[in-house]
Structure 1
Amino acid sequence: MRAHTTTNKMASNNSTMLSNDTFLSDRVALVQQLNDKMARLMVPATVYICIMMVLGLVGNPMVCYYYGAKTKLTTNTFFIVILALYDVIVCAISMPTEIADIELFYTFEYNVACKILRFVNYFAGIGSILTLVAIATDRFKKICRLTKPQMGIRTAKFVSLGIIGIAILLSWPSLVIYGSIQVPIPNTYGLDLMGADCTSTKEVAYQKYVWVFNGVHFLLFVVLSVVLIVLYSIIGHTIFSHKKRLMMYTPSKNRTPSSTEVETSLSDCSQKMEDNMKGTEKGVIKPKTATQSLFTSIKRHSTVSKKSTDSHKPSGIDSEAVKITVVMVIVTIVFIVSFLPYLSLTVWRVVKRQHEAEFLSDAGLVWFKIGSRSFLLNSSLNPWIYGIFNSNFRQFFFGWICKKR
């Protein structure tokens, strides 16, 4: 009888274990099903990242090669290469991981990969904006402070190393704050389902650090954006003033002297010639010859006229420097426009203190995922901006494509 009871208990326990395993298996299958449904919904975001990745991986290496090996090494070309290297890192590391994060919407369980992804995003973003500030400072010195000491290649290298150090210092907390975090999965089955997503921690103990981290980065972005706008506003005003003075000067440069001016000049020369000859006869002055005295007089007159003309001539600003400045202004604008939605949505998500899938509609969720990755535009479009405004780079780029074909 006891043996029979023991057998029944063992069968009951096995049945319970089997039902638990079946239940867990069903939950895992349901999570995967909901994940696949979300991945299909996120196709527009995935396509967006794929396009950005292709554009960036094609263009940025070309920028590094062209400005690093095919052009004269200047502070500007050096900083452009540094910018392109930051963009290469984003395109090669961040974008593929971002695609995986979207496709594995509720099943991203790769904690280390998530930490590396967020660290690279912050590192490249901070490094890029600080490099843009360095470029703007260099442009300011070259256009608005021509007579002051200029930045050299050696200084540019030290500045870039300092920027790398600052970027690492401001980015490392992301290794702690971000990870594969358990998030609730909304569903119509009334079940308490949990998934894994690459996002910031929701633990209450870490919330003040999350606030400080995101607040510092947003404030840094605003301050540096204002610095860039101010610097380029001063540069633009200087260029405009220079062109205005140049337009005022150009008509007088080609002006022919009037008949009155010619007659006055000839009369003065004749009078001086007479005085010199009289002086020779009376022994008052003894020039070598009257003709040499006349030449000397004319020479002095020409020298004075030239000095007077040069004093009105505006200082020159190299047209190439103006073109480079215009390109860098556009690059800066693209950076600010592309990072603003990303940082704003990141701060907004911290304020909500919920996973976005809990309170956004399907369409809103798609736009959120695209907007929170708006910074990828910067890394993809930069090389094409250089190509549009630099004919030499454009010819090199398309020549290279033709050779490959």
Structure 2
Amino acid sequence: MNVSDVSLNETLQDNSHLLQRLNDNTVQLNFIPSLILTISMIIIGVPGNILIIVVYMKRWRKSTCRIFILALAFNDLFNCLFTMPLELYFILNVYQTDLPYLCKISRFMTFWTNDGSSLILMGIAVDRLQRICRPFRLQLSISTAKKIVAASMFVSLLVAWPALLIYGISSIRLPISENNMIYAKLCLYADNPGVKLDPTVFVFFIMAGNSVLDVFFLVVYGIILYNVKNSGKELRKLSRVDLYLGNGTRKTSKANSEDQNGSYKTNKLRSVSNTEFRKRSLAETITDDQYNSSRNHVNQGPIKRFHSEQCLTAEAKRKLFAQSRQKLHSFSSGRGSRRHIYQSHDHHRKAKTTIMLFSVTVLFMVSFVPYTVLMTIRNFDSGYYNRLSDLEKAIYQFFIRSYFLSNALNPLIYGYISEHFRTESKSVLKTLLRIKG
């Protein structure tokens, strides 16, 4: 070995040590909040998403909601087990990343799973819209829900594959003195991408797609909220009036029902004209003959006239029609009361599920807002990040990873809103503790 070779090796070793010091110093100054965020999301997200998968697979009835929630949980669990640990590696080796294929796969999987989740949330929104606002129409089946999940992941694969070519190792020069530079390697846009595609175009396409989906979510859930609110108002107005008694006669208004000892006899009720009685009780008197006829011609009876006159929303019509049909075919008020309680419980459960899934969607949208804004700014202003102070860079690096929140916090939303999920989760945890004991 000659003198020049010894000098070159010493220079390389010095540069390596210097690059290590620069790397560690940058991590301490700019990436501590990002490390805390990522580690916290792994700690919360891994057991939380595993619990979701166990509860919904083993202890939940089959439904479209179950299919969608399981698909989201699998995507989130994959991010917590794969992409987040890789992100920790890239953070701790911010200037010393020399694994281009790992960088490519990490970025591709991040885009694929998160884009797939956004499309699955779109399917959830459509399913909720059908069940809440269009209950009489054909609903999504379990097989259709599975097809939506498969199609969502396939479409997101088509959208995300350019990340395999765009991302890779990016070499930058770091000044160490007035005349000396040192080269660092980052997981960013590749120096020699495998496709002639401007990374800015790809990122802008992803951002535009997310914005369109956000608008879609706001419109759909706005329609759902409007229908639920209006239905609730109309049902409260009619809560004091039951359409039919168990024996087939129409229940009187609140004023007529106050005296149940005979001050208002059935004959007197039948003598009141239809017009006056409708004003007083919001319903017509149905005689025994009319009742027998309505059993055979439900769609042509007073239900149809009542709905057309009151202009109720679809949800109110569905609830009132179910109550009316149940009363017409039941001669036991006790059985009818139990049926009414079951229907009220079903309506409450459906509303709770919608609120829960809406909260998951809001979390997804909010968690991507900082990432979308910062990536848009950086792509239109390439020198933006370099002009930031160390504190501002730390804030930037924290919020550029804000989308991790949607991968880890969904279990907390389910546990807070769904009492059934809390109960089943406790049961699963108790079973695991018994097995370990």
The corresponding residue for 1:367 is 395
Distance in 2, matches of 1:188 and 1:22, equals: 18
Which residue is equivalent to 1:161? 150
Query: For 1:32, which of 5, 10, 20 is the aligned residue?
Result: 20
Aligned pair partner of 2:68 in 79, 82, 90: 79
Return 309-318 or 216-225, whichever deviates more. Answer: 309-318
- The match for 2:370 among 333, 338, 341 is 341
Q: Give the TM-score normalised by structure 2.
A: 0.77
Q: Name structure 2 gaps, 5 residues minimum.
A: 243-252, 272-285, 320-346
Whole-angstrom distance in 2 between the partners of 1:186 and 1:396: 58
2:199 equivalent in structure 1:
210
Local SS of the residue matching 2:353? helix
Deviations 1:267-289 (A, max 9, x none): 867xxxxxxxxxxxxxxxxxxxx
Give yes or no for the alignment of 1:389 onto 2:391: no
Aligned to 1:257: 256
**SS, match of residue 252 in structure 1:** coil
Of residues 220, 230, 245, the one that matches 1:241 is: 230
Deviations 1:255-300 (A, max 9, x none): 252789936834867xxxxxxxxxxxxxxxxxxxxxxxxxxx9413
| Structure 1 match to 2:336 | none
Equivalent residue letter for 1:343: T
Is 1:315 paired with 2:317? yes
Write out per-residue CA displacement over residues 316-370 of structure 1, whole angstroms, 9 at most, x where no aligned residue.
46221111110111111100100111122223222233594x3332112211111
User: 1:69 is matched by which residue type in structure 2?
Assistant: K
Q: How does 1:56-95 map to 2 (within 5 A)?
A: 56-95=45-84
Residues 15 and 154 (structure 1 numbering): CA distance in 2 closer, same or farther, change over 3 Å?
same
Superposed displacement of residue 189, structure 1: 6.3
| C-alpha contact 2:165 2:195 (8 A) present in aligned 1 | no
Which has more helix, going by share of residues?
1
The match for 2:429 among 394, 401, 405 is 401
> Which deviates further from its counterpart, 188-197 or 22-31?
188-197
What is the distance in 1 between the residues matched to 2:293 and 2:177?
Answer: 92
Letter in 1 for 2:136: T
**Residues 136 and 232, structure 1, Cα contact 8 Å, conserved in 2:** yes
Structure 1 pair 303/95, CA: closer, same or farther in 2 (3 Å)?
same
> Per-residue CA shift, 1:128-173, capped at 9, x if unaligned?
1100000000000111111111110111111111111101100000
Specify the code of the residue in structure 2 equivalent to 1:64. Answer: I
Bigger mean CA deviation after superposition, 62-71 or 205-214: 205-214
Q: Which residue of 2 aligns with 1:20?
A: 8
SS of aligned partner of 2:256 = coil
Matches of 1:402 and 1:191 in 2, distance apart?
Answer: 62
Equivalents in 2 of 1:45, 1:402: separation in Å?
Answer: 34
**Greater CA deviation, 146-155 or 188-197?**
188-197
Superposition map of 1:191-206 within 5 A:
191-201=180-190
Q: State the match for 1:47 in structure 2.
A: 36
For the 8 Å contact 1:342–1:372, the answer to whether it is kept is yes
Check conservation: 1:179, 1:200, Cα contact below 8 A.
yes
RMSD of equivalent CA atoms: 2.8
Output the CA distance in 1 between the equivalents of 2:233 and 2:430.
43
Match of 1:7 in 2: none
Contact 1:88 1:379 in 2 (8 A): yes
Please say if 1:129 is aligned against 2:127.
Answer: no
Q: Distance in 1 between matches of 2:291 and 2:302?
A: 10
Give 3-state SS (helix, strand or coil) of 1:251's partner: coil
The structure having more radius of gyration, on CA atoms, is 1
Equivalent position SS for 2:96: coil
Cα 1:395–1:240 change in 2 (3 A) is same
- Cα deviation, residue 251, structure 1: 2.5
Report the equivalent of 1:100. 89
- The DSSP-based 3-state class of the residue aligned with 2:241 is helix
Counterpart mapping for 1:285-304 below 5 A: 298-300=287-289
* AA partner of residue 138 (structure 1): D
Q: Structure 1: 5+ residue runs without aligned partners?
A: 1-12, 270-296
The separation in 1 between residues aligned to 2:413 and 2:269, in whole angstroms, is 61
Cα drift, residue 188 of structure 1 = 5.2
Give 3-state SS (helix, strand or coil) of 1:195's partner. Answer: strand
**Could you say if the C-alpha distance between residues 124 and 58 of structure 1 is closer, same or farther in structure 2, counting changes exceeding 3 Å?**
same
Q: Is the 8 A contact 1:202 1:353 kept in 2?
A: no
Q: Which range moved further: 392-401 or 256-265?
A: 256-265
User: What is the CA-CA distance between 1:19 and the residue it aligns to?
Assistant: 1.8
CA shift in 2, pair 1:31/1:144, >3 Å: same
Q: Which moved more, 1:143-152 or 1:208-217?
A: 208-217
| TM-score, normalisation: structure 1 | 0.83
Tell me the matched-pair count.
365
1:72 Cα offset (Å): 0.5
Instruction: Say whether the 8 Å CA contact 2:170–2:189 is kept in structure 1.
Output: yes
Distance 1:99 1:242 in 2: 49
Displacement of 1:203 in angstroms is: 6.5
Letter in 1 for 2:14: D
Judged with a 3 Å threshold, the aligned counterparts in structure 2 of structure 1 residues 144 and 36 are, in CA distance, closer, same or farther, namely same
Q: Give the AA of the match of 1:37.
A: N
The counterpart of 1:178, out of the listed 155, 163, 167, is: 167
How far apart are residue 204 of structure 1 and its match?
A: 10
Deviation at 1:40, TM superposition (A): 2.5
Structure 1: how far apart are the matches of 2:11 and 2:173?
18
SS in structure 2 at match of 1:315: helix
Structure 1 residues 87-139: Cα deviation after superposition (integer angstroms, max 9, x where no partner): 01110111000001100010011111111110111001110110000000000
